[in-house]
């Protein structure tokens, strides 16, 4: 995915069978965001640090809307967190990325170094034999 000042790419590992709405559970992630190595996937049902109390669900689909409103989240090698999600509450629904850099003890929710910006998001399937 990408946006103003944002360049992220990588690979998801998912379960093999989608749910009734066509969403697969992401179980692993590798890649980079703005040159920082992605180091971990946030567990479903928990919030990304700096974005409490908004839990992620780690679901992705090959349908037109590829992420849910909860999205997925990951950590990077520099201690940052990112969470792409589908924002159906916007006048023109689309994807946003919540970015958090919780560098100060006790930091909760949006701080000066955090952002929520529009992104373009696209995922394709690669089957590994």
Residue 125 has pLDDT above 60, yes or no: yes
Q: What is the mean pLDDT of residues 93-112?
A: 74
113 pLDDT tier (thresholds 50, 70, 90) = confident
- Domain assignment of residue 61, yes or no: yes
> Among candidates 107, 6, 113, which has minimal Cα distance to 50?
107
Whether 70 contacts 26, CB under 8 Å: no
Task: Report the domain count for the chain.
Answer: 1
Say what the pTM is.
0.90
For residue 75, tell me if it sits in a domain.
yes
* Averaged pLDDT score across all residues of the chain: 91
pLDDT exceeds 70 at position 33: yes
* Long-range Cβ contacts of 51-58 (<8 Å, 24+ apart): 51/81, 51/83, 51/98, 51/100, 51/109, 52/108, 52/109, 54/83, 54/98, 56/83, 56/85, 58/25, 58/26, 58/27
Query: Within a domain: residue 73?
Result: yes
- The answer as to whether 124 is a domain residue is no
Closest CA to 60 of 74, 39, 77: 74
Domain that holds residue 48: 2-119
């Amino acid at each position: 995915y990408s946006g103003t000042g944002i360049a992220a790419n990588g690979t998801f590992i998912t379960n093999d069978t989608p749910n009734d709405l066509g969403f697969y559970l992401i179980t692993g992630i590798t890649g980079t965001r703005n040159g920082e190595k992605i180091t971990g996937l946030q567990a479903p049902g928990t919030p990304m640090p700096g974005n409490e109390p908004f839990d992620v669900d780690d679901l992705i689909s090959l349908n037109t809307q590829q992420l849910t409103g909860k999205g997925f989240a990951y950590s990077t090698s520099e201690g940052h967190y990112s969470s792409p999600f589908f924002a159906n509450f916007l006048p023109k629904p689309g994807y946003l990325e919540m970015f958090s850099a919780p560098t100060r003890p006790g930091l909760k929710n949006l701080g000066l170094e955090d952002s929520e910006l529009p992104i373009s998001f696209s995922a394709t399937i690669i089957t590994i034999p």
